[in-house]
């Protein structure tokens, strides 16, 4: 896999917010090795503990451990997962949700799916202002196969992030996407004009519909036969003082391929499921609906 180490990935901590990922240090991409395809979901409170669920034997995100790790102890935090029964080895798990709650009313969860190519997170900050958050990430590699004699063909890439922040507290949320370059977008109410900022633009597309709730990003890149492209996406929420951040209900990342083009993935499951065929976990049905979606479509150059 060919990934670039991105120092400062999710490096904005903000003022008055405990910007953490899975209760640990700031999120940072590490250099993936073999067996790095997988997902990682986590949620935490600075007072009542945290939970982390990672399925990649080799970490692709700093702070994400392999397996299920909880640190609630007797503090009163509660961590649950969907599915509730985890497979062995846990690397077989390609879609999961982790939920965290505590006695103050903080309720957070994070979800990720390789089969759907989706991320989601929900964070309700406690009235007491304790630091808390929810984060989700996925990593895979797609290899493109062109059956005719075309030397290269363009791929349209669309990214869509859509969520809501409501309440009287503070929020500091971010989304990052590594795919032929690095995209970083921050959503916070701590000084950015309009409560959002583009921190990094990969340069092959255009931002539209930018707001504190998300954005669209669309453009094209070119691939060749047998080219393998790494895909890493991460969503992180931090909301405090009764602020609700809802990016919970996800849509799909998709490739639209001509008849002579296919792709495979390191995980073997990337984008093999349709959203309509996968019901939401009923245990999290009351958490509301936001939207975080990635979409990639495949089209050929005119004349090929």
The dihedrals phi and psi of 235, each to the nearest 5 degrees, come to -125, 130
Cα 271 to chain centroid, rounded: 15
- For the chain, the distance separating the N- and C-terminal CA atoms, rounded to the nearest angstrom, is 29
DSSP letter at 242 equals S
How much is the pLDDT for 168?
83
How much is the pLDDT for 131?
62
Element of type H or E holding 40: strand 38-45
Identify the bridge partners of residue 145 per DSSP, sorted by sequence position. 262
User: Any idea where the domains of the chain sit in the sequence?
Assistant: 38-298
Task: Tell me the whole-structure pTM to 2 decimals.
Answer: 0.80
Beta carbons within 10 angstroms of residue 265's beta carbon: 18
With the CA atoms of 19, 37, 229 and 179 taken in that order, what torsion angle do they form, in degrees rounded to the nearest 10?
-10
How much is the pLDDT for 174?
92
Three-class DSSP category at 192: coil
Positions of the chain with pLDDT under 50: 1-28, 30-31, 277-304
How much is the pLDDT for 250?
65
Cα 160 to chain centroid, rounded: 12
Identify the bridge partners of residue 157 per DSSP, sorted by sequence position. 219, 296
How much is the pLDDT for 288?
28
Three-class DSSP category at 53: strand
How much is the pLDDT for 130?
57
How much is the pLDDT for 210?
95
Q: Locate tokens 């597309």: which residue?
A: 205
């Amino acid at each position: 896999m060919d990934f670039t180490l991105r120092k400062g990935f999710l490096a904005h901590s903000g003022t008055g917010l405990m910007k953490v990922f899975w209760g640990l240090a700031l999120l940072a991409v590490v250099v993936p090795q073999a067996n790095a395809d997988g997902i990682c979901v986590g949620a935490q409170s600075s007072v009542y503990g945290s939970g982390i669920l990672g399925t990649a034997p080799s970490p692709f995100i700093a702070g994400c451990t392999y397996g299920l790790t909880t640190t609630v102890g007797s503090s009163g935090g509660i961590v649950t997962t969907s599915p509730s029964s985890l497979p062995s080895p846990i690397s077989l798990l390609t879609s999961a949700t982790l939920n965290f709650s505590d006695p103050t009313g903080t309720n957070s969860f994070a979800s990720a799916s390789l089969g759907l190519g989706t991320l989601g997170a929900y964070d309700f900050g406690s009235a007491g202002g304790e630091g808390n958050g929810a984060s989700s990430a996925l990593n895979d590699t797609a290899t493109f196969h062109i059956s005719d004699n075309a030397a290269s063909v363009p791929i349209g890439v669309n990214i869509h992030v859509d969520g809501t922040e409501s309440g009287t507290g503070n929020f500091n949320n971010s989304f990052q996407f590594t795919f032929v370059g690095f995209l970083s977008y921050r959503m916070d109410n701590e000084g950015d004009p309009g409560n959002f900022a583009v921190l990094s633009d990969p340069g092959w597309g255009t931002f539209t519909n930018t707001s504190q709730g998300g954005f669209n990003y669309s453009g094209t890149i070119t691939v060749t036969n047998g080219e393998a492209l790494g895909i890493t996406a991460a969503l992180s929420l931090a909301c405090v003082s009764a602020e609700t951040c809802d990016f919970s209900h996800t849509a799909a990342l998709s490739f639209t391929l001509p008849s002579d083009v296919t792709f495979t993935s390191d995980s073997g499951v990337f984008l093999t499921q349709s959203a309509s065929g996968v019901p939401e976990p009923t245990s999290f049905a009351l958490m509301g609906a936001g939207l975080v979606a990635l979409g990639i479509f495949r089209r050929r150059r005119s004349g090929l």
